[in-house]
Structure 1
């Protein structure tokens, strides 16, 4: 009944993922390759968490 009040952790992670990718892009364009690599690694960790939440959601729906 009050499902619309529940916060969506997946949406928050997707926003963080997009921000990390943009920051990584900017670092690469500025020539900061080490920063690019670090930010890309962090973005991949967030993507793995998104995938994990999606799999958990699929299992709950069954």
Structure 2
């Protein structure tokens, strides 16, 4: 009944994931490959957290 008021924990992570990918794309366009790889790594870590949360919801 009160699940209407609960926020989705993955919503914030998905927004952060998209922002990291956007930053990584901009770094790649600017030729900063080191920053691009770091941001891509951080985005992958966020994606892993999202996958873990979604897996726990299914069980």
TM-score range, shorter chain: over 0.9
Q: Give the drift of 1:6.
A: 0.8
The aligned residue for residue 22 of structure 1 is: 22
The aligned residue for residue 52 of structure 1 is: 52
**Count of aligned residue pairs for this structure pair:** 59
Residues 36-45 or 1-10, more deviating = 1-10
Structure 2 spans left out of the alignment, 5+ residues: none
What's the RMSD between the two structures over aligned residues?
A: 0.6
C-alpha separation in 1, matches of 2:2 and 2:54? 21
Q: TM-score, normalised by structure 2?
A: 0.96
Q: TM-score, normalised by structure 1?
A: 0.91
Report the secondary structure of 2:31's partner residue.
coil
The aligned residue for residue 13 of structure 1 is: 13
Query: Which stretches of structure 1, 4 residues or more, deviate above 2 A after TM superposition?
Result: none
